[in-house]
Structure formats: C-alpha cells, structure tokens
Structure 1
Amino acid sequence: MGEEDKEEDTLALLADLVHIEIGRREKRPLCNRCRRPTNVCWCSSLGGKKINTECKVIVFQHPHEEKRCLRTAPILQAALQHGNYLEVKGKRFNSSRFPEMKEILLDPNSILMYPGDDAANVESLPHVGEANQPPYNLIIIDGTWQQAKSMYHNSPQLQNLRQVCLSGKYVSEYVIRTQPTNDALSTVESAAIALALLEQNWSIYTTLVGPLQILCQHQIMHGAVKSSKQRISNTIREI
C-alpha cells in the first residue's frame, strides 16, 4: 500500500469517528437525494430537474472510494439523467467480469480519461454532432492516483480504449482537499469539463460544479481551511 493510500485510509477512519453517535444523540436527518445531512445538503443548486446530456458517464470506482468523505461522484449520480450515469465498483474491469459493460468497453466511441503519452486532449476530439460524431461514452476511473494506476494496469480492456486527458489549464474548485498535482481535478470536475467540451455546452459545467462549490462552502464555514497542509485536521471537522 502506497503512502497516499495509507493517508487516505487514515483520513477515512478519522472521518468515521466524527460520525459516531454519543449517548442518545439523535441522528441528523439525511437528504434522500445526496444522502448528506439536510442542513449541509448541496441539492438546492441542482434544482428539481436532472441534466439530460447526450454522452454517458461511466465511473469505474475502487471499492475503497465509497468510504471516502466528501466524494464527488454522488454529484454526477444526482445530477445526470437516469441511464446517462453508470457506476461500477471493482479493482479489475473486463466484459466477462462485468457483462453489462461489454457493449461500452467495445464501443469505438468509448473514451477513457486517463493521462498518458498517447492520451489525446479532449479539446481536440470532434464535438458531438460534428461530422456525424455520435455521443461518447466517457469513462472515468475513481480512486486515489495509486488505485487508479493499479486498476488501469490490471484491466487490459481499459488499456485498449482511446485515452483522453484535459489540457491542464483548468483550476480545481475542490479547495478543501489536497490534489496530487496542481492541475489535478476531482471526478465531478473532470466529467463536467469533458462533457462541456464534447457537447459545446458550458452550462453542463456550471450545473455540475455548483454542488461542489456549496459542499466546500459548508466545510469552510465549519472550520475547514483552504490548505493542502491541513488534510488530517480538516477531515476531523468534516460534517
């Protein structure tokens, strides 16, 4: 286990301790949509409707990611129309292990957001509808960087997909969590920017990142600091 994974596990453990109920304290009511306490729910920024994108977003999620605090994949699940968001948990991905993914893994219009020497800039791809370009299947690996590398190298069918990446000029709105590099983005931000570029519709980005901004505002109001040096102390205060 790498140092990053160990730190993430420590953070998850500390965050779990925060939620231990003491005595007869009543549990706070949760929002049915985002499953966060209602007083710090971010659903208000989404309104009552879901985004109807042309592309699908498929998140291959490491099992440990579900334990992380303040995950951003649930924003995609809450915001995107049913059928336009799929989430599959595992450490190795192939069509025999996940037969429901066979069509997507073999689709020439499936693209994998993963940096590498052969990764094309998303901005260079044909837009949906341009020269009869069909909608894309946008695949994102959700986990720590070490977990993502392991999942990729243990999944030959992922390696066969066309790799794409973002240019690095985008700044993360996830100001309460340290990213491994200055140009790293959260799962929801990566999807939001890619969808906005591929569909030439930046309202998608605005809508998807709105909940992330509210989430960060709530955390800062409760003591979180905009500093990569404060990861453990911030997690203790996560709400």
Structure 2
Amino acid sequence: MRINCAQCLRPEVQCLCAYLPRLESRWQVLILRHSSEAKHALNTARLAVLGLKQCRLMDGEVFAQLPALLAEPGWQNWLLFPAASAQLVEQGVASEAGQRQRLIVLDGSWRKAKRLLHCNPCLAALPRLSFASPPPSRYRLRKVPTAEALSTIEAITYALEQLEGRSFQSLLAPFEALIEQQISAMGSKRYQADFAARNAHLDA
C-alpha cells in the first residue's frame, strides 16, 4: 500500500516538503482550481499554496461563495487571464492607500479555465492582468502549443515578481523537484522520445 505525505500529498518516498519555502507576499493569491485537476499527479496549485503564505485554493466549477468574497471591502481583485483590455503585469498596478490587492488565478487546461470563467460570471467583471514577455515554461512533461504557456505555479511566480519587484524563485523549487522525479520515473528513453526535442532549450 502506497503511503502519501499528508502535506504535499506525494508518495512519502517522493515527498516534496523539504523543497517548500514559506514566502510572504503583499498580494494575496486566490487559485480557483477546476475540480477535475485536484487529483492530477502534476498539478502545481497545491505546491503554490504550501509555498506561499498569502495563497488560498478553492476547488470546484461553480463557486457560490465567490461573489461575496470578491465584494469584500478594501480589496482590489485582478483576474490573471488574457484579454485585449488586460493590463500587463510588467507595468505594475496602482492602488489606493489602504487597499489590498488580490490576484485570481484559474487552474486547469485552457478549456477548463474558460469553463470556470463561463460558470462564474462575477469573474468577467474583474479587471484583467496578462503577460507581455513571460519566460519559457519549465514544465518539461507537458505538450503545449507555445513556450509562453506557463504552469499555474510558474504563472504565479512570474506575476508576483513583476508586481512586487522581487524574486519568488524559491517557490519553484518543489516544482522543479517534481518534474525531475517524474522524468526519472518514466525513464530517459521515454522522455527523450516523447518530450526532449521540444524542451531542448531547457535541457541544454
């Protein structure tokens, strides 16, 4: 019987807790994770929650409590999701004195993220943030259409670095360890056949 770590939920022999930081941030991060992603072996949302003190995770598809949460006084909410009207994180945001900032992140495939947006109309009214020039994703076990398609924890890390002007790279340490574990488990031959060519810029 496989025993999992109670915190990171990985098998005990692959526990990632030693890699987890506990970072403070001025921004609060709220991750809305599509319910189908919760048991995905490579889902990174939980790692973000464990590594970032001001981070909260909600699972589901329709979030009944979300309108009340977004209406809490003293908060400016931003949705991290592409749109023609989106403000670029690289440019930062202005806030009024005493106002706290919250970043809403949708966790799932693009199809599932769009589903979350459709099922929760209160999200459509939020101002959006997007990336102008994010770094290439280091998610070497995922086939994506472009290198700019970041995993959830990578997107949060990059957004916070731009918005707060400091490094959050230690947040990626358990993510990097997770990827290395999975590559080791699948074996070099399979990795080379399935993923290595499209990730040559990362493995060099």
Does the alignment reach a TM-score above 0.5?
A: yes
In the alignment, structure 1 residue 92 sits paired with structure 2 residue 55: no
Contact 2:46 / 2:57 at 8 angstroms: preserved in 1? no
Amino acid at match of 2:156: A
Distance, in Å, in 1 between the alignment partners of 2:192 and 2:93 is 38
Q: What is the identity percentage for the equivalent residue pairs of Structure 1 and Structure 2? A: 28
Q: Kindly state the Cα deviation for residue 135 of structure 1 after the two structures are TM-superposed.
A: 4.1
**Could you report, residue by residue, the CA deviation over 1:86-130 in whole angstroms, capped at 9, with x for unpaired residues?**
22222234xxx216x5243566621101111111111112378xx
**Could you report, residue by residue, the CA deviation over 1:123-175 in whole angstroms, capped at 9, with x for unpaired residues?**
112378xx858442010011111111122123221011011111243111111
Match of 2:68 in 1: 102
Distance, in Å, in 1 between the alignment partners of 2:124 and 2:191 is 36
**Could you report, residue by residue, the CA deviation over 1:215-236 in whole angstroms, capped at 9, with x for unpaired residues?**
1111111225557946xxxxxx
Compared CA separation, residues 92 and 32, structure 1 to 2 (3 A): closer
Compared CA separation, residues 67 and 228, structure 1 to 2 (3 A): farther
In the alignment, structure 1 residue 38 sits paired with structure 2 residue 12: yes
Q: Given the two structures, how large is their TM-score scaled by the length of structure 2? A: 0.83
Compared CA separation, residues 123 and 228, structure 1 to 2 (3 A): farther
Distance, in Å, in 2 between the alignment partners of 1:200 and 1:78 is 22
Match of 2:34 in 1: 62
Distance, in Å, in 2 between the alignment partners of 1:112 and 1:179 is 22
Compared CA separation, residues 196 and 42, structure 1 to 2 (3 A): same
Compared CA separation, residues 105 and 91, structure 1 to 2 (3 A): farther
Gaps of 5+ in 2: 196-204
Contact 1:178 / 1:228 at 8 angstroms: preserved in 2? no
Larger Rg: 1
How many residue pairs get matched? 192
Q: Secondary structure at the match of 1:172?
A: coil
Q: Kindly state the Cα deviation for residue 38 of structure 1 after the two structures are TM-superposed.
A: 2.0
Gaps of 5+ in 1: 1-26, 231-239
Contact 1:79 / 1:208 at 8 angstroms: preserved in 2? yes
Alignment of 1:29-178 (within 5 A): 29-46=3-20, 50-81=22-53, 84-93=54-63, 97-98=64-65, 102-105=68-71, 109-126=76-93, 132=97, 134-178=99-143
Distance, in Å, in 2 between the alignment partners of 1:155 and 1:64 is 16
Amino acid at match of 2:91: S
Q: Given the two structures, how large is their TM-score scaled by the length of structure 1? A: 0.72
Amino acid at match of 2:181: H
Distance, in Å, in 2 between the alignment partners of 1:127 and 1:227 is 46
Q: Kindly state the Cα deviation for residue 69 of structure 1 after the two structures are TM-superposed.
A: 2.0
Contact 1:105 / 1:158 at 8 angstroms: preserved in 2? no
Q: Secondary structure at the match of 2:61?
A: coil
Compared CA separation, residues 112 and 220, structure 1 to 2 (3 A): same
Contact 1:119 / 1:162 at 8 angstroms: preserved in 2? yes
Q: Kindly state the Cα deviation for residue 56 of structure 1 after the two structures are TM-superposed.
A: 0.8
Where is the strand percentage greater, Structure 1 or Structure 2? 2
1:213 to 176, 180, 196: 176
